[in-house]
Amino acid sequence: MSETRTFRTEVRKVLDLVVHSLYTNKDIFLRELISNASDAIDKARFESLTNAEIAQKWRIAIEIDKKGGEIRISDNGIGMNAAEIDENIGTIAKSGTKAFLEKLAENKEVSAPELIGQFGVGFYSAFMVAEEITVESKRAGTADPAVLWRSKGEESYELSEGSRKDQGTEIRLRLKPNNDDYFEAWKIKDIVRKYSDFIEYPIHLVETGKGSQKEEAEKPLNSMKALWTRKPEDVSEEDYSQFYTHLSHFGKDALSRIHFSAEGTSNFKALLYIPAEAPPFFMPQDLKKRDIHLYVKRVFITDSCEELLPDYLRFVKGVVESEDLPLNISREMLQRNPQIEKINRNLTRKILSELSSMMEKNRDKYLSFYANFGRVMKEGVNSDFQNREKILDLLLFETLNGEPGKLSSLKEFSEKLPPGQDKLYFAVGDDPRQTRKSPVLDSARKNAFDALLLGDPIDEYIFQTVMKYKDKSFVSLNQENPEISKSAELEEIKKEADKKHSKLLEAMKKSLGDKVKDVRFSDRLVSSPCCLLADKFAPSRQMERIMKAMKMDAPDSKRTLELNPSHPIVRKLCAKSSEGKDDATIANFAELLYGLALVADGEAPPDGAAFVENISALLSQNN
């Protein structure tokens, strides 16, 4: 006898939201129904511990009946009687309070049932593709008759007695027009591999051919090989390698892997890979994409869980599975909650620890990693304040006293400072090879001090914001009046030049006009004729160029031209000034020295032809 019942309060509105608003990908209806089937088997397997009659050879089947216009998903799990099927499939209505619906309509995050596969919103996602759903279920371990539930997803549903004799549930979907691709075996296989590959029960595909003849695939659609749930000693290198290929789609081996389980306030398992190299399509500026797959109770949720890792670790690939992680109503967006934050902190700590160990124990391996992802790692210094010190320890730089091309960590650099040096000096340029020759390093060379050679603009930004490493301050040699020890000899030469040639400096400053902030003699230059220095807190010219290229608001700050009073070119200029040479000669020398300072700083003079002509004219003079 069939009985028609009306859905509980406001369920029609909830159904409309589920079908038209919550899900953007129709394929996930199959994920939800397989999840329900897996959960039903979980329950039956648990009850079978005390009732052996319930034990089965557990399986899930997906049957394609193209001629009949149906897809059927069945399991031999716990099943339901009439009261349970009415109650469980009514979960969505039972939760349908006014406040709940308002939150759904506003697309705000709300708590969802924590049990994966619980009949409710996930079950109703099948109405995205089905015009009618029939559920036939037989409760395991009881004499209750099977029950049949049928609905078109409108105001009512039918309940009647079914004919099923075996325990479990079968869900029949009569598909809407324009959903014929779900009758194709390749489509079903693709969905199962993507979303349910690691369900621990075999999922079989059955195709109904001519008449009622059925053909079942010999092998399950899912691999059931959840490597992250095994102990590391039980997983072969080949399995690890194959799984990484499956995750990365890149065809390269990983540089390192991290396989662990966390227990305590947050229970989860993780298998993470650090790539050996960046794939061709990896974009350092892409801050959102994550190749971290999230599973909950072996059910795939998303292949890009942004909340699980900070931006600067976006190159890491892997899988995280949580047993107690709540999900939002659609399972497509994770609810922000303390569990997510705890997993994030734990994963970040593990990755940074692995990289630190790699740098200490296998430097060549770490250098390979750093060449690919070092620049991305630097972003974490000013975004992950909790782990700032750990990230700083992982950064590498060339140094003035080191071999060209050889990289040192900040720890190594600071522990090997020459006698008398108590500051961490650094010089900024476009390339460490060129920066090594920069005139701003003259005083460091004279004092036999060491300095970091920075070739990446983000390095300068890091040091200016961090300001210190351990107990030592960062000091830029590209800026005016750095806190660096100067020799009494150079200071005396500068004082003498200031006294004798103050008018020359005034004339040069007048001649150069807006090109410079000031012109003065230097007590830091030794072998170079001149250099350009920025204000103490101003960005270097390299940083300004990058900011302008990114269309950022970058002040075009003027720099100070410093002259080496001991250099032959400057001494010749001083002599000509003392002889009372005309303003044109002084102006030519001023332009020449300004151009030389630009070249030393990695820039081209604004008028290259005039610069060459000026050099030629001065060189052709006899005195």
pLDDT surpasses 70 at 233 = yes
**CA 373 to CA 365: how far, in whole Å?**
12
pLDDT surpasses 60 at 91 = no
Q: Name, of 32-41, 214-223, 336-345, 572-581, the range with top average pLDDT.
A: 32-41
**CA 124 to CA 518: how far, in whole Å?**
74
Query: What confidence score (pLDDT) does residue 483 get?
Result: 65
| Reported confidence tier of residue 100, pLDDT bands at 50, 70, 90 | very low
> Do 3-211 and 227-367 fold alike per CATH?
no
Query: What confidence score (pLDDT) does residue 212 get?
Result: 67
Average pLDDT over residues 1-22: 68
Query: What confidence score (pLDDT) does residue 334 get?
Result: 60
Distances (CA, A) of 347 to 248, 271, 273, 278: 19, 10, 12, 20
Query: What confidence score (pLDDT) does residue 87 get?
Result: 76
Query: What confidence score (pLDDT) does residue 65 get?
Result: 93
Q: Which strands, in side-by-side order, build the sheet including 472-476?
A: 408-409, 396-399, 452-454, 424-428, 472-476, 468-469
Query: What confidence score (pLDDT) does residue 80 get?
Result: 93
Task: Work out the angle at residue 53's Cα, subtended by the Cα atoms of residues 51 and 59, and round it to the nearest 5 degrees.
Answer: 110
Query: What's the CATH fold of domain 395-476?
Result: Rossmann fold (3.40.50)
Lowest-pLDDT range of 263-277, 351-365, 418-432, 537-551:
537-551
**CA 505 to CA 339: how far, in whole Å?**
65
Q: What is the pLDDT of residues 183-224, one digit of tens each?
A: 999 999 999 988 888 888 999 999 987 666 777 777 999 988
Q: Name, of 56-70, 147-161, 332-346, the range with top average pLDDT.
A: 56-70
Residues 6 or more apart in contact with residue 554 via CB below 8 angstroms: 539, 543, 544, 547, 548
Strand extents, DSSP E, 7-125:
60-65, 70-75
Query: What confidence score (pLDDT) does residue 613 get?
Result: 79
Lowest-pLDDT range of 112-116, 239-243, 348-352, 504-508:
112-116
Burial of residue 241 (CB within 10 Å: 0-12, 13-18, 19+) is middle
Express as a percent the part of the chain with pLDDT over 70: 82
**CA 565 to CA 242: how far, in whole Å?**
67
CA 294 to chain centre: 15
Q: In the beta sheet, which residues pair with residue 562?
A: 520, 531
**CA 36 to CA 38: how far, in whole Å?**
5
Q: What is the 3-state secondary structure (H, E, C) of 147-177?
A: EEEEECCCCEEEEEECCCCCCEEEEEEEECC
Q: In the beta sheet, which residues pair with residue 343?
A: none
pLDDT surpasses 60 at 109 = no
Query: What confidence score (pLDDT) does residue 585 get?
Result: 82
Residues 6 or more apart in contact with residue 141 via CB below 8 angstroms: 47, 51, 53, 54, 167
| Reported confidence tier of residue 89, pLDDT bands at 50, 70, 90 | confident
**CA 12 to CA 299: how far, in whole Å?**
28
Average pLDDT over residues 392-404: 95
pLDDT surpasses 60 at 604 = yes
Query: What confidence score (pLDDT) does residue 395 get?
Result: 97
| Reported confidence tier of residue 356, pLDDT bands at 50, 70, 90 | very high
pLDDT surpasses 50 at 620 = yes
Residues 6 or more apart in contact with residue 25 via CB below 8 angstroms: 332
Tokens 């009622």 label which residue? 212
pLDDT surpasses 70 at 555 = no
pLDDT surpasses 60 at 107 = no
pLDDT surpasses 50 at 269 = yes
Question: In the chain, where are the structural domains located?
Answer: 3-211, 227-367, 395-476, 488-620
Mean pLDDT of the chain: 83
Query: What confidence score (pLDDT) does residue 250 get?
Result: 64
**CA 466 to CA 20: how far, in whole Å?**
49
Question: Which CATH class for the 488-620 domain?
Answer: mainly alpha
**CA 268 to CA 318: how far, in whole Å?**
13
Query: Are the beta carbons of 66 and 204 closer than 8 angstroms?
Result: no
Query: What confidence score (pLDDT) does residue 32 get?
Result: 85
Query: What's the CATH fold of domain 3-211?
Result: Heat Shock Protein 90 (3.30.565)
Residues 6 or more apart in contact with residue 237 via CB below 8 angstroms: none
Position with higher pLDDT, 295 vs 568: 568
**CA 102 to CA 17: how far, in whole Å?**
11
Q: Which tokens is 478 given?
A: 């590209």
We find that the CATH architecture of domain 227-367 is: 2-Layer Sandwich (3.30)
